[in-house]
C-alpha cells in the first residue's frame, strides 16, 4: 500500500513583530482535504509533529467565512473528527524516516512560520526527501518549512525551484502583513526560489520536479490530487510487474482471452467510442468504425487466427561440430510495456499496439492522448471492465503524467506521435536502456507520372488526403508532377473534392474538424503558400478548414517546411522522375511514398532509389489495412514496426535455445 507522511506544525501561536502571540496552528482545510484525497486513493496516512505534540487547529479555519459557508465548515470539522485519534497522538517527527514514504505533505496555517521555519529536524527531513526523489507537497504557509533546509555546504537545496506559497498580497488582505516579523514570499525569493503567485485566494499550484507547492487553502485538494496523479505511474508499474512475475500473462489462454475481451469491448461499446471520436475530431460514425473500431477488430481477428502458430518454437540448423545438439528459438514476453497514443486516431493507434502487447504476453500501461479527452475518458472507463486490471492499466493525463511514466523502468515503450516528443521519449528510455518503437510522421510525397488517368488519380488522392481532415500520419503531404501535368491534375483534384464532399464540405457529414485551435491557427497560416485551386476557407469557431489544394507552390514555401497534418495539399512541379527522386532524397525519409504511374520502370526506380517506411502504388493509405505488411517508419519517420506478426515480434524477445546432450 502506498503511504504519505503529513508533517504538522506543533505551534499554537505565531510571534508577531511586536512580540505578541497570534493564536494559530494548522489550517483545517489544508489537512482535511488532502488527507481525504490521499485516503480515497488508497494511501496509508501517518501524521507527525515535532516531539509528537498534539497539533492545534487554527480556530479561524473552522469558521463559515473561512470555508465559504457553514455547510462546508461543518464538513471540514466533521472530517477532522473522523481522524481525531490520529491527531491526538501523532508520531514524533524525530522518529520518522522519510525514505519509508512515497510522499511527504506539509499543511499550512501560520503555525509553520513559528516552528517549522527554524526546525533543523524538519529541514533535514525535507532535504533527504528531495534528494531521494520523494514527492513533496508544501501548502500555503508551509513553504516556510523549506527555509530551514540546508545542505552540508550551507546551500539551500530548493534554490532555483519554481514554487508558490501564501503571497504578500494575501497576507495584506488578511491583515497581518504589517505585523509580521517577515513575509513568506519575500524569504523564498531572497533564498533563490523562482516564486509565482496567482490572484489572491485563487487556487494555484506549481510543480517542479518532485516539489509540489500550493498558494493558499483553496489549492488544498488540487495539490493533493496532483501528487496522487504524479505517483500513480510508480504504483501502476510496480503492480503490473508483480503480476507479470507470476507468469500469468504468458499462457496462450490468457493472451487469447484478453484479445477476445478487447474484441468484445469494441463490438459492444463501439457506439460509445464513435461518439467520443465525434466529440474530439468531428468524425462521422461511418469513419469512426471504418478507420478505428473495425480496423482494430480486424487486427484482433487476424492475430487470434494465427497466434498459436506464431508462438510455436522455430527450429534452427546446428553445425556438425555440435553433433546431437538441437536448436530452436522461442518468443519471450518482454514484461511491462508502455503504449503512448496520439490524438488523430486516438482509439486505433492506442488499441492496435495493445493487441500486439497482449499477444506477446505482456502487462501493459496504456496512455491515451489528453488532446482527445472524450476518447481518453471512454477508454479509461471501458478497458478495466473488459481486461485483466492486474495486468492492464490506463493512465490518463497530460505532460506531467507522461513525464512521470517515462521516468519509470519499462521493458518496451511504444510511442506514436511527432518527432519532437519522440526524441524526448527516446532520451528517457535511454536512461534505463529500454527499447523503443517510434511511429512518427513526416512529409509523405506523391509522384504523379504523366499520361496517367488524372480523374482516377485525383479521386484516390483526395480520398486519402482529406480523410480525418488530413490529420493522418501517412496522408499524402505534397504532390510532385511535371509542369504540363500539374494544371490538369489541379482541376481534377478540385472536381474530386467536390465529388467527395459537395460544394460546401462544412455541411458534409463525412468531413471532420481540426483537433484544436492551436493546430487550426498553424494550418491557416499555411494557406497562403500557393495559388488556391479549391478550398481555402475556414471557420475558427467550429475549427473547420475546407479541403484545400494549392498550385504553383515553391519548394521552400511555408507549407513545404513541416509536416502539414491537415487538409492542405500543395502541388510542386519537377522536371520529371529524376528530379522527383532527387527532391525526395534531399529531405527527411518519409513514413510513406505514393506513386501513380503505368510504368514498371518508374515503379522499380522509386522503390529502389528512395527510402521510406512504405511505398504505395496507385492507392494512398491502403498498405495499413494489410495485416501481413509491417507498418513503420525509417529515420525521421520512426523506428520499428508493427501490425500482425510484426506486432508480436515488436513486443517479444526471440530467445535462442541450444540443447546439447551430455555424453552417455
Just list the catalytic residues: 439, 473
Contacts of 228 (CB under 8 A, 6+ apart): 37, 38, 41, 43
Burial grade of 324 (CB within 10 A; 0-12, 13-18, 19 or more): exposed
Q: CA–CA separation, 496 vs 465, rounded Å?
A: 11
Instruction: State the residue for C-alpha cell 522499380.
Output: 604
420, with CB counted inside 10 A (0-12, 13-18, 19+), is: exposed
Q: Please give the angle made by the CA atoms of 180, 184 and 190, to the nearest 5 degrees.
A: 115
Q: How far apart are CA 568 and CA 19, in angstroms?
A: 71
Output the DSSP codes for 241-266.
HHHHHTTGGGSHHHHHHHHHHHHHHH
Residues 6+ apart with CB under 8 A from 74: none
Cell readout for 193 is 526560489
Neighbours of 234 (CB within 10 A): 17
Rounded Cα–Cα distance for residues 108 and 655 (Å): 56
CA distances from 61 to 24, 40, 94, 282 (A): 9, 23, 28, 48
Find the helix or strand (DSSP H, E) in which 157 lies: none
- The C-alpha cell at 55 is 497539533
The strand pair at 194-195 and 3-7 is best described as unpaired
Q: Backbone phi, then psi, for 484, in 5-degree steps?
A: -75, -35
Rounded-to-integer distance, Cα 90 and Cα 85, Å? 8
Phi, psi of 488 (to 5 degrees): -70, -40
Task: Please name every residue paired with 481 in a beta bridge, in sequence order, or none if there are none.
Answer: 573
Asked if residue 617 lies in contact with residue 642, where contact means CB atoms within 8 angstroms, the answer is: no
Rg of the Cα atoms in the chain: 30
Instruction: Please tell me the distance from the alpha carbon of residue 648 to that of residue 645, in angstroms, as a whole number.
Output: 5
Distance of CA 123 to the CA centre of its chain: 35
Q: At a CB cut-off of 8 Å and minimum separation 6, what does 446 contact?
A: 461, 476, 477, 478, 479, 480, 593, 594, 595, 596, 620
State the CB neighbour count (10 A cutoff) for residue 534.
22
Looking only at the bridges linking them, the beta strands covering 135-139 and 103-106 are parallel
C-alpha cell at 204: 494555484
Which residues on adjacent β-strands are paired with residue 654? 331
Q: Which three cell numbers stand for residue 584?
A: 525526395
Amino acid at each position: 500500500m502506498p503511504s504519505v507522511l503529513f508533517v504538522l506544525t506543533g505551534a499554537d501561536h505565531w510571534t508577531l513583530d511586536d512580540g505578541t502571540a497570534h493564536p494559530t496552528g494548522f489550517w483545517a482545510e489544508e489537512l482535511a482535504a488532502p488527507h481525504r484525497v490521499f485516503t480515497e486513493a488508497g494511501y496509508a496516512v501517518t501524521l507527525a509533529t515535532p516531539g509528537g505534540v498534539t497539533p492545534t487547529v487554527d480556530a479561524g479555519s473552522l469558521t463559515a467565512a473561512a470555508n465559504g459557508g457553514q455547510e462546508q465548515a461543518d464538513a471540514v470539522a466533521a472530517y477532522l473528527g473522523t481522524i481525531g485519534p490520529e491527531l491526538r497522538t501523532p508520531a514524533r517527527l524525530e522518529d520518522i524516516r522519510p525514505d519509508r514514504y512515497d510522499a511527504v505533505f506539509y499543511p499550512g496555517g501560520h503555525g509553520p512560520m513559528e516552528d517549522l521555519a527554524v526546525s533543523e529536524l524538519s529541514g533535514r527531513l525535507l532535504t533527504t526527501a528531495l534528494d531521494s526523489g520523494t514527492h513533496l507537497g508544501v501548502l500555503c504557509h508551509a513553504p516556510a518549512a523549506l527555509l530551514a533546509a540546508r545542505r552540508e555546504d550551507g546551500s539551500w537545496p530548493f534554490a532555483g525551484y519554481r514554487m508558490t506559497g501564501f503571497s504578500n498580497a494575501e497576507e495584506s488582505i488578511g491583515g497581518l502583513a504589517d505585523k509580521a516579523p517577515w513575509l513568506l514570499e519575500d524569504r523564498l525569493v531572497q533564498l533563490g526560489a523562482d516564486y509565482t503567485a496567482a490572484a489572491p485566494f485563487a487556487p494555484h499550484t506549481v510543480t517542479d520536479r518532485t516539489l509540489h507547492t500550493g498558494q493558499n487553502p483553496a489549492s488544498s485538494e488540487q495539490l493533493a490530487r496532483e501528487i496522487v496523479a504524479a505517483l500513480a505511474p510508480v504504483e501502476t508499474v510496480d503492480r503490473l510487474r508483480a503480476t507479470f512475475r507470476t507468469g500469468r500473462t504468458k499462457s496462450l489462454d490468457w493472451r487469447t482471452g484478453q484479445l477476445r475481451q478487447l474484441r468484445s469491448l469494441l463490438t459492444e461499446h463501439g457506439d460509445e467510442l464513435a461518439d467520443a471520436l465525434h466529440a474530439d475530431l468531428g468524425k462521422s460514425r461511418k469513419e469512426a468504425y471504418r478507420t478505428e473500431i473495425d480496423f482494430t477488430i480486424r487486427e484482433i481477428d487476424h492475430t487470434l487466427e494465427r497466434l498459436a502458430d506464431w508462438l510455436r518454437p522455430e527450429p534452427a540448423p546446428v553445425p556438425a561440430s555440435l553433433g546431437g545438439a538441437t536448436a530452436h528459438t522461442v518468443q519471450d514476453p518482454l514484461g511491462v510495456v508502455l503504449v503512448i497514443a496520439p490524438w488523430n486516431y486516438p482509439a486505433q493507434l492506442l488499441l492496435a499496439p495493445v493487441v500486439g502487447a497482449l499477444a506477446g504476453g505482456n502487462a501493459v500501461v496504456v496512455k491515451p492522448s489528453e488532446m482527445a479527452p472524450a476518447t481518453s475518458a471512454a477508454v479509461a472507463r471501458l478497458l478495466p471492465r473488459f481486461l485483466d486490471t492486474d495486468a492492464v492499466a490506463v493512465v490518463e493525463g497530460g505532460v506531467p503524467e507522461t513525464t512521470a511514466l517515462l521516468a519509470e523502468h519499462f521493458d518496451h515503450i511504444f510511442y506514436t506521435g511527432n518527432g519532437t516528443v519522440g526524441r524526448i521519449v527516446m532520451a528517457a528510455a535511454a536512461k534505463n536502456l529500454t527499447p523503443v518503437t517510434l511511429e512518427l510522421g513526416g512529409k509523405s510525397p506523391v509522384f504523379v507520372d504523366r499520361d496517367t488517368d488524372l480523374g482516377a488519380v485525383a479521386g484516390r488522392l483526395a480520398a486519402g488526403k482529406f480523410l480525418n481532415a488530413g490529420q493522418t500520419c501517412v496522408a499524402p503531404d505534397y504532390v510532385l508532377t511535371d509542369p504540363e501535368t500539374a494544371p490538369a491534375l489541379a482541376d481534377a483534384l478540385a472536381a474530386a473534392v467536390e465529388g467527395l464532399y459537395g460544394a460546401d464540405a462544412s455541411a458534409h457529414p463525412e468531413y471532420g474538424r481540426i483537433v484544436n485551435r492551436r493546430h487550426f491557427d498553424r494550418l491557416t497560416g499555411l494557406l497562403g503558400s500557393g495559388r488556391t485551386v479549391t478550398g481555402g476557407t475556414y471557420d475558427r469557431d467550429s475549427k473547420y478548414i475546407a479541403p484545400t489544394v494549392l498550385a504553383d507552390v515553391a519548394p521552400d514555401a511555408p507549407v513545404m517546411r513541416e509536416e502539414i497534418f491537415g487538409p492542405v495539399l500543395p502541388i510542386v512541379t519537377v522536371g520529371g522522375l529524376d528530379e522527383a527522386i532527387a527532391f525526395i532524397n534531399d529531405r527527411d525519409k518519409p513514413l510513406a511514398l505514393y506513386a501513380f504511374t503505368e510504368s514498371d520502370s518508374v515503379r522499380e526506380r522509386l522503390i529502389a532509389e528512395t527510402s521510406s517506411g512504405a511505398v504505395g502504388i496507385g492507392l494512398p493509405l491502403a498498405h495499413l489495412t494489410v495485416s501481413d505488411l509491417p507498418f513503420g517508419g525509417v529515420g525521421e519517420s520512426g523506428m520499428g514496426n508493427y501490425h500482425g506478426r510484426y506486432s508480436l515480434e515488436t513486443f517479444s524477445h526471440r530467445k535462442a535455445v541450444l540443447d546439447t546432450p551430455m555424453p552417455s
